[in-house]
Amino acid sequence: MPATPLPVKPDTSLVRRARKIDRVLAETYPDARCELDFDDPFQLLVVTVLSAQTTDKRVNAVRPTLFAAYPDAKAMAAADRATLEGIVGPLGFFRAKTESLLRLSAALVEEYDGRVPARLDDLVKLPGVGRKTANVVLGNAFDVPGITVDTHFGRLARRFGWTEETDPVKVEHAVGALFPKRDWTMLSHHLIWHGRRRCHSQKPACGACPVARWCPAYGAGPTDPEAAAKLVKTEGRA
C-alpha cells in the first residue's frame, strides 16, 4: 500500500507573520472574549445556537428571561413550545430556533443526563450543533482549545494570507497549523473582535489598522487615517 503523505508544514515566514499579527491584536484588544453572556456550559451552548442570524446583544437581552424559565436541559426539554417561542421571538426565526432548542435539550437529557459533553465528537452529533458552535463551547466553557471559524474569522484569515480556503473546516485546519494549540481559543477572539471593529467586510478601516504593515490586503479600505478612524467601532455586534 502507498504510504500516507505527511502533512505539509507551513512556511516559516508565514508562521512568524501570523503569530506577530496575533500578538499585536492581543495588545489591541486586551479584553477580547466571547461576547455572549453565560453562566455554565448549557447556557453557552444555547445562546450560541440562538446567535445564528442575529446579534450577540439581542441574544444577551433575552438570556435572563430564557434561563429563569428554563435553567437546565431537563426544564427546556419539557418547555411549552408557545411560551418558548414567545421568549426567543425577538431574535427572529423563532419557530426554527424553538425547535432547535427543544431537540437539543431533549438529546442532552436522553444521551448525557442533561449535561453538555466536553468532546468535539459528541457535541457535533447534537441537533443543530456544528463545529463552530462546538468550538465556542469547548474553548469558553471547558478551556479546551478550539478555533471558531465564523464569517469574521474566515474573512480575516484570507485577507491576512493565512489560507485561500473558503470551507470553514479547511480554514480551521489551515490556520490551526500556524499556531500552538494553546492559542487557538484566544486567536479566535482576537480575529473576531478585529473583524467586528475594524476589518469590516465591505469597508475595512485599513488606515486605522494596527496590523496593516503585515496585511497583504492593505488598501482594501480607506488608508487615510482620518477616514479610516470614522469606520472603527468601539463595540462588536450592536
Residues belonging to the active site: 132, 150
DSSP for 149-184 reads --HHHHHHHHHTTS----SHHHHHHHHHTTS-GGGH
The CA-CA-CA angle for residues 155, 161, 162, to 5°, reads: 85
| C-alpha span between 178 and 118 (Å, rounded) | 24
Quote the cell numbers at residue 179.
499556531
The sign of the torsion formed by the CA atoms of 60, 62, 65, 71 equals negative
HEC letters along 1-55: CCCCCCCCCCCHHHHHHHHHHHHHHHHHCCCCCCCCCCCCHHHHHHHHHHCCCCC
Burial (CB < 10 A; 0-12, 13-18, 19+), residue 238, is exposed
- Among 198, 153, 208, CA closest to 179: 153
